[in-house]
Structure 1
Amino acid sequence: MDSASAISSDNTTHLLAGFVANLRHEDVPVEQFGYARKSVLDWLGCCVAGGREAEVRSLCDVIESMGSAPQASLIARGSKRSVLDAALLNGAAGNLLDLDDVHPQLIGHPSSVVVPTVLAVAEWKGLSGRDVLTAYVAGYEAMVRMGLAMEPELYDRGWHATGALGVFGSCAAAGNLLRLDAQQMVAAFGIAAAQAAGLRELFGTSSKCIHHGKAAMAGILACLWAQRGTQSAVDVIGGRFGMRTLSEPVRTERIAEGLGTHFHLAQTCYKRHAACGSVHAAIDAALELRERPGFSLDDIDRIDVRTHTLSVSLTAHNEHARTGYEAKYSMHYALALAFIEGSAALAVFSDARVMDPRVRALAARVHMSADPDMQYIEAMPSELALTLRDGRRTVLRVDTPKGRPSNPMDWNDMAAKFRQLATPTLDTATIDRVIADVARLEDADVGALMQRLSRATTHTHEVVAA
C-alpha cells in the first residue's frame, strides 16, 4: 500500500481513500461478486426499460444536442457520448421507473449510481469485467458506509441519500478503475462532496431520477480532475465544514469499522414490484389475500393498512394519484392496482389504469395509519385488514417482502425480471446473451456487452411508435 504512506489513520476521508485506492479483486470475498452480478443485471433491466420513457428520451435529446466525444454507450439509444454524459443519462434511466435495488440503512439506491459509473468508465478505458466487479464493490461500500454514518438524520432533513451520498459511491468506483492513488482519492472525495445534492421534495416526480445520473456523473468528474493534480479538502467527511453541514451527526466510526474485511452487499434489497419499496410488504399481502379461496373484490368494504411511519411519510401525499408514476408512491393506488390486476408489474402502473373508475373506487376504501412500533430492518412492514361487506374481517401482516435478504430473489428471479423489463426493447437473442455475459462478468467483454445494449434503439423506436 505505497500510496497510503501519507494517509492519516485518524482522518476518515484518508481511511476511505486508502481502501478504495488499494482494493483489488483478490481482496474481496468471492461471494460478494455473486451479489454484484445480480445487482448489475437488475440495474441493466431497469435502465433498458427506463430508456423507453419520454423523460429519458427528452434528456437524451438535450445531451445529444450539445455534442460530446463518443466514449461510452447510451444504453438502448444506439449512440455514444462522453463518459460523463453516458453516466448521467444511463444513471437517470436506471432509476426512472423506481425498480432498482436499495440498501435499507443507506435509505437509497446504490446500484443506480455505481453501475452506470463502472460501465461507462470501463467501456471508455477498455477495462475488464473483473475490474468492473471490483470497482462496483469499492463504490457500493463507500456509498453504504456514508449512509451508515449519516442516516436516518440526513433523510429526516430532506436529503435524498442517492444523490447526496451517491457522489461518494461513484467517486470510489471511478477512482478504483482509474487507479487513483490514495492522496488523489482524498482530493476526489472533496470535489465529489462539493457536488452532493438530492432533495426529497422531488419524490413522486419523474425528475427525481436526476439525483442518480448527476451523482454518477459527479463522481467521475471529481476523479478526472483530481487525477490531474487538483487539490481539495483534506477531510471532507469528518471536517468541521464538510458533510456535517448537510446533517449531523457524522458517525465516522461506522465508516472505519470493518473497512476492508466486512462488506455490505448481502444486505441489498431487490424490487419485485414496480413501485416505491415502502409499499412492497403491503403489495405482497394484497397478492396473497387475493389468492385465498373465496376472495372477491366485490366483497371488500374497507382496507385498513397499518405500516411503518416512513412508509406513511413517503406515500400519503399521493392518496389521490392521477398518474402511473404517482401511483408508484401511493399506498392507496398501489394496493388498489394489486388487488384488481393481480400484479404490481411495470405495465400495471399506467395513467389509464390509475384513472379507471374501479381502481379509484377501491383506492378510496384504503385507510392508512402509522405504527411507531414497527421496525424497519430489511423492509417497512405492513399489516392489511380487510373488512368485508358482511362484517367479516381478515388480517395479514408481511414483514419481509420478496427480494429482501431473508426472502431473496435468486439469479433465476433476476433473469426473469430482466427479461420482463427488456423484452419490449431487446430481441430474445440479445437478452439471452446479456444474461449470459453478466453471469460470467469477470470474463466478459465489457465493450461488446455495452454495444449489444446500445444497439437496441431501432427496436425501441418501433415499440414507442406502436
Structure 2
Amino acid sequence: MTSPIWKVHALSSNTTAALAAFVANLRHEDVPQDQYGYARKSVLDWLGCCVAGTREAEVRALGDVMADMGSAPHATLIARGAMASVLDAALLNGAAGNLLDLDDVHPQLIGHPSSVVVPTALAVAEWKGLSGRDVLTAYVAGYEAMVRMGLAMEPELYDRGWHATGALGVFGACAAAGHLLRLDAAQMVAAFGIAAAQAAGLRELFGTSSKCIHHGKAAMAGILACLWAQRGTQSAADVIGGRFGMRTLSEPVRTERVLDGLGTRFHLAQTCYKRHAACGSVHAAIDAALALRERPGFSVDDIERIDVRTHTLSVSLTAHNEQARTGYEAKYSMHYALALAFIEGSAELAVFSDVHVADPRVRALAARIHMSADPDMQYVEAMPSELTMTLRDGSRTVLRVDTPKGRPSNPMDWSDMAAKFRQLAAPTLEPSAIEQVIEDVARLEDVDVRALMQRLSTAEDAAAQAVAA
C-alpha cells in the first residue's frame, strides 16, 4: 500500500509542497469524525459573530464601498440583503465576523482561524454550488494550514508586532479555497506563494474597529491566490521554507512543525470559544470578576482596589488602554473590561459600548484596578489571571482562574453555542431563520450551502436573491 502523497512530500525538504499535497489530496473520510464536530461548532460560532458584526457602522460602510464599485453576484453578504463577488463577500463577511471580537481563537496560533477560514469556504462553496460536506473538509484543510503555520512561527511573529490572523491567515484561506476549487498539488504550491505575497496584519491596530480588516483581507487574498494559480500563474517553489520566504517576517520558521503529524494529527480540539465580547487575554480575569461579584453581600461601592496578576502577554495586549475611550478600546483594556464586568454583571456584547465606557462609575472603578505581569504563569489554553479584591473595610479576597469558560478543558457545548448564536442573531434575523440555521449547521454535511446562505440574508430581501451560477 502506497503512502498518501503528502506523507511522501513530508520526507522531502520542501515544506510548501508537502502542505500543498495535503490540501489537494485531503478527502472527507481522511478526517476523524470528532474533528467535524468541532468544525460545526466553529461554523455556528462564526456565523453568529458575523451576523452581529453586520449591524456595526464600519461594516455597513465597507459594504457601501463595495456597492459603489460594483460587484458580480457570486456570494451572499451576510445579513445585508445583497450579493457580491466571491472576493468581496469573503472580505466583508470576514471583517464582520471579527469586528466585535467574539470569534474563536487558537492559543498557539495566537489568532482567529475561523474568522478567516469560514467566510472563505462559504463564499467559494456558495459560488460553485457545493455542499456543506465540502465546506467541512475545506475548513479542516484551512484550519490545519493556518494553525501549523502558527506552530512554526509563534510566538516570535507576534512579538515582532505581526497579527497572525492576517499574516498567517492567508495560508488558511488559500488552503480552504484551493481545496474547494480542486487545485492540484502544483497549483497549490503556486497559490501558497501568491497568498504569502499578500501576508499582512499589524498589532498596532488592536483596540480599533479597523483591526477586522486583517481577517477579511486574508480571506480575500487566499481566494485570489487560488484563482490566479488556477489560471497557470507560477510562484515560489517553497515560500514557507525558502531563504527569502516567510522567515523575512519573523525567524525562526520551524518547518518541522508544519509537517509533524500532517494528515494524521489534527488541531481542531484545541479551539477556544468566547463567551465574553473582549480580547481573549482578559477572559480569565472576567470570569474571576463575575465569580467575585456573586459572593454574598457583594457591592461594587465597597471595592477599594482590585489587583490583577496575569500572564505577561495579557499585560502587553491590554495595558496601553488603561484610559479606554471607546467600546472597542475597552475590549483590549484589562481595567475597563473588569470594571464593566463588576458593575454590569456581564461582559456580553451590549456592555462594550461607548456609553458604558463613559459612565463615571466605570471610569472610577477602572482607576482602582492595578495590573502586574507574572512571568511564571503559563499560557496553555488561556492566559491565567489572579484577582485580589480589597474592600474598604480592609478585607481581601483572592481568586485565580486558569481556564475560563469556552476553553477545551472548560468547554462550551453545542447548546452553549446555539444560545450564543440566538443572542447575537436575534436583532437581525427572524426567529424561524435563526432556528433553521442552527439546525442546518448541526447537519452541515447534508446541507446545500446556497440554501443556508439565503437564510442568512435579510428576511425582506432573501426571497429576491438570485443565486449566481
Same fold, TM exceeding 0.5? yes
For 1:89 and 1:168, locate their aligned partners in 2 and report how far apart those are by CA, in whole Å: 19
Residue of structure 2 equivalent to 1:463: none
- Root-mean-square deviation (Å): 1.4
Residue of structure 2 equivalent to 1:423: 426
Q: Aligned AA for 2:381? A: E
Residue of structure 1 equivalent to 2:345: 342
- The structural deviation recorded for 1:456 is 4.2
Using the size of structure 2 for normalisation, the TM-score is 0.96
1:59 aligned to 2:62?
A: yes
Determine helix, strand or coil for the equivalent of 1:44. Answer: helix
Q: How many equivalent pairs are there? A: 459
From 382, 385, 397, give the equivalent of 2:400.
397
From 435, 452, 456, give the equivalent of 1:453.
456
From 333, 352, 374, give the equivalent of 2:355.
352
Determine helix, strand or coil for the equivalent of 1:454. Answer: coil
Residue of structure 1 equivalent to 2:265: 262
CA contact (8 A) 1:77 1:457 kept: no
After superposition, the C-alpha distances for 1:416-460 in whole angstroms (9 at most, x for unaligned) are 00000000001110000000000000001110110110124779x
Q: Classify 1:63/1:103 alpha carbon distance in 2 versus 1 (closer, same or farther; 3 Å).
A: same
Q: Aligned AA for 2:65? A: V
Give percent identity, aligned residues only: 86
- The structural deviation recorded for 1:357 is 0.7
1:190 aligned to 2:193?
A: yes
CA contact (8 A) 1:113 1:166 kept: yes
1:290 aligned to 2:320?
A: no
**1:205-220 maps to which residues of 2 (within 5 A)?**
205-220=208-223
CA contact (8 A) 1:77 1:456 kept: no
Q: Aligned AA for 2:87? A: L
From 278, 286, 294, give the equivalent of 2:281.
278
Q: Classify 1:240/1:107 alpha carbon distance in 2 versus 1 (closer, same or farther; 3 Å).
A: same
For 2:4 and 2:351, locate their aligned partners in 1 and report how far apart those are by CA, in whole Å: 54
Determine helix, strand or coil for the equivalent of 1:386. Answer: strand
Q: Classify 1:5/1:307 alpha carbon distance in 2 versus 1 (closer, same or farther; 3 Å).
A: closer
Determine helix, strand or coil for the equivalent of 1:274. Answer: coil
Residue of structure 2 equivalent to 1:72: 75
Residue of structure 2 equivalent to 1:15: 18
Q: Is the deviation greater in 319-328 or in 43-52? A: 319-328
CA contact (8 A) 2:5 2:22 kept: no
After superposition, the C-alpha distances for 1:386-421 in whole angstroms (9 at most, x for unaligned) are 011111110000000000000000000000000000
Q: Aligned AA for 1:49? A: A
Residue of structure 1 equivalent to 2:465: none
Q: Classify 1:7/1:391 alpha carbon distance in 2 versus 1 (closer, same or farther; 3 Å).
A: closer
From 200, 203, 221, give the equivalent of 2:203.
200
Residue of structure 1 equivalent to 2:467: none
Q: Classify 1:385/1:451 alpha carbon distance in 2 versus 1 (closer, same or farther; 3 Å).
A: same
CA contact (8 A) 1:72 1:86 kept: yes
Q: Aligned AA for 1:306? A: R
- The structural deviation recorded for 1:107 is 0.3
Using the size of structure 1 for normalisation, the TM-score is 0.97
Residue of structure 1 equivalent to 2:37: 34
- The structural deviation recorded for 1:6 is 10
Unpaired segments ≥5 residues, structure 2: 463-469
For 2:297 and 2:88, locate their aligned partners in 1 and report how far apart those are by CA, in whole Å: 54
Residue of structure 2 equivalent to 1:118: 121
Q: Classify 1:438/1:209 alpha carbon distance in 2 versus 1 (closer, same or farther; 3 Å).
A: same
For 2:144 and 2:5, locate their aligned partners in 1 and report how far apart those are by CA, in whole Å: 20
After superposition, the C-alpha distances for 1:75-98 in whole angstroms (9 at most, x for unaligned) are 011111100000000000000000
Q: Aligned AA for 1:361? A: A
Q: Aligned AA for 1:236? A: V
Residue of structure 2 equivalent to 1:462: none
Q: Classify 1:299/1:264 alpha carbon distance in 2 versus 1 (closer, same or farther; 3 Å).
A: same
Unpaired segments ≥5 residues, structure 1: 460-466
